[in-house]
Amino acid sequence: MTVVQDTAAGFQSAALTGGRSLRQIIWARLRRDRVAMICLVVLVLFYLIGIFGPIVGGMVGIDPYKFDSASISDNAGKPVLDWGGISAAHPLGVEWGTGRDIMAQLLFGLRISLVIATSATLITVAIGTVVGIIAGYSGGWTDSIIGRFMDLVLAFPFLLIVLALSGVLTQRLTQLGVPEGNPSRILYLILVLSVFGWPYLARIVRGQVLSLREREFVESAVAMGSSKRRILFTEILPNLWAPILVYATLTLPAYIGTEAALSFLGVGVLPPETTFGAMLATSVTYFNVVPTYLFIPGTALVILVVSFNLLGDSLRDALDPKAIH
Amino acid sequence: MTNQTSDVLDVTDLRTYFPVRSRGLIPRTIGAVKAVDGVSLSLDAGETLGLVGESGSGKTTAARSILMLVRPTGGSVKIDGEEITDLSARKLMPIRRKAQMIFQDPYNALNPRHTVGAIITAPFKVQKVVPPGGVKKGVLELMERVGLNPEHYNRYPNEFSGGQRQRIGIARAIALRPKLIVCDEPVSALDVSIQAQILNLLRDLQKEFGIAYLFVAHDLAVVRQISHRVAVMYLGKIMETAPRELIYSRPLHPYTHSLLSAVPVPDPKRQAHRKSRIVLHGDLPSPIDPPSGCVFRTRCFQAQERCAVEVPPLVELAPGHHVACHFPIAVEDLPARAEVQALTADDPQEATPDVQIVSREEAADGAAGAAGKGRGAQEEALDEGGAAEEGVSLNKPRA
Ligand SMILES: Nc1ncnc2c1ncn2[C@@H]1O[C@H](COP(=O)(O)OP(=O)(O)O)[C@@H](O)[C@H]1O
Ligand code: SF4
Ligand SMILES: [Mg+2]
The DSSP code sequence of B271-294 is: HHSPPPEEEE-SPPPPTTSPPSSS
| pLDDT band, very low/low/confident/very high, at B7 (cuts 50, 70, 90) | confident
User: Is residue B148 located within the same domain as residue B266?
Assistant: no
Q: B10-14, B134-138, B262-266, B284-288: which has the minimum mean pLDDT?
A: B262-266
| pLDDT band, very low/low/confident/very high, at B215 (cuts 50, 70, 90) | very high
**Structural domain containing residue B183:** 9-234
User: Is residue B223 located within the same domain as residue B276?
Assistant: no
- pLDDT in the model for residue B273: 45
- The answer to whether the CB of A132 falls within 8 A of the CB of A202 is yes
In a domain, A173, yes or no: yes
Q: Is B27 on the interface with A (CB under 8 A)?
A: no
* pLDDT greater than 80 at residue B63: yes
- pLDDT in the model for residue B41: 94
Higher pLDDT, A144 or B275: A144
In a domain, A213, yes or no: yes
In a domain, B224, yes or no: yes
| pLDDT band, very low/low/confident/very high, at A17 (cuts 50, 70, 90) | very low
Angle at B121 between CA B119 and CA B122, to 5 degrees: 70
User: Is residue B18 located within the same domain as residue B156?
Assistant: yes
Pairing of strands B48-52, B212-217: parallel
In a domain, A261, yes or no: yes
Task: Determine if ligand 1 sits within 6 Å of the CB of residue B56.
Answer: yes
Ligand sitting nearest the alpha carbon of B303: 2
* pLDDT greater than 60 at residue B220: yes
Q: Domain holding A184: CATH number?
A: 1.10.3720.10
Mean pLDDT (whole number) for B235-257: 93
Could you give the ipTM of this predicted complex?
A: 0.82
- pLDDT in the model for residue A77: 67
User: Is residue B42 located within the same domain as residue B76?
Assistant: yes
Give per-residue pLDDT as tens, A252-279: 888 988 888 888 888 878 777 788 888 8
Q: A60-64, A318-322, B18-22: which has the minimum mean pLDDT?
A: A318-322
**Structural domain containing residue A168:** 34-66+101-318
User: Is residue B222 located within the same domain as residue B257?
Assistant: no
* pLDDT greater than 70 at residue B9: yes
Higher pLDDT, A113 or B375: A113
In a domain, B199, yes or no: yes
A vs B, Cβ pairs < 8 A, gives 79
In a domain, A211, yes or no: yes
- Against a cut of 0.90, is the pTM above it? no
User: How many domains does the structure of chain A reveal?
Assistant: 1
User: Is residue B151 located within the same domain as residue B262?
Assistant: no
Which of B234, B264, B283 is the C-terminal boundary of a domain?
B234
In a domain, B318, yes or no: no
Q: Which phi and psi (to 5°) does residue B110 adopt? A: -115, 135
In a domain, A17, yes or no: no
DSSP string, A23-39: HHHHHHHHHT-HHHHHH
Pairing of strands B48-52, B82-83: unpaired
Nearest CA to ligand 1 atom 7: B18
Q: Domain holding B98: CATH number?
A: 3.40.50.300
In a domain, B278, yes or no: yes
C-alpha B10: how far from its chain's center?
A: 17
CA distance A228 to chain B (A): 10
User: Is residue B205 located within the same domain as residue B285?
Assistant: no
Distance from Cα B346 to the centre of ligand 3, integer Å: 27
- pLDDT in the model for residue A95: 73
Mean pLDDT over each residue of chain B, to the nearest integer: 84
By most ligand atoms within 8 Å of CB, the mutation choice from B325, B329, B334 for ligand 2 is: B325
* pLDDT greater than 50 at residue A150: yes
What CA–CA distances, in Å, run from B22 to A125, A280, B287? 35, 55, 17
Angle at B389 between CA B383 and CA B393, to 5 degrees: 105
Percentage of chain B with pLDDT > 70?
82
What CA–CA distances, in Å, run from B218 to A68, A190, B20, B188, B257? 86, 57, 26, 8, 15
- The answer to whether the CB of A87 falls within 8 A of the CB of A104 is no
In a domain, B26, yes or no: yes
User: Is residue B178 located within the same domain as residue B302?
Assistant: no
Nearest CA to ligand 2 atom 3: B297
Mean pLDDT (whole number) for B25-54: 91
User: How many domains does the structure of chain B reveal?
Assistant: 2
| pLDDT band, very low/low/confident/very high, at B371 (cuts 50, 70, 90) | very low
Which of B234, B266, B285 is the C-terminal boundary of a domain?
B234
CA distance A129 to A206: 8
In a domain, B323, yes or no: no
Q: Test A4 with B69 for CB contact under 8 angstroms.
A: no
- The answer to whether the CB of A196 falls within 8 A of the CB of A156 is yes
CA distance A160 to chain B (A): 31
Out of A10-14, A17-21, B169-173, B292-296, the most confident range is: B169-173
* pLDDT greater than 90 at residue A89: no
- pLDDT in the model for residue B384: 37
- pLDDT in the model for residue A175: 84
Ligand sitting nearest the alpha carbon of B36: 1
CA distance A130 to A233: 10
Nearest CA to ligand 2 atom 5: B325
In sequence order, what are the residues at sequence separation of 6 or more whose Cβ sits closer than 8 angstroms to the Cβ of residue A238? B111, B113, B114
Out of A277-286, B34-43, B154-163, the most confident range is: B34-43
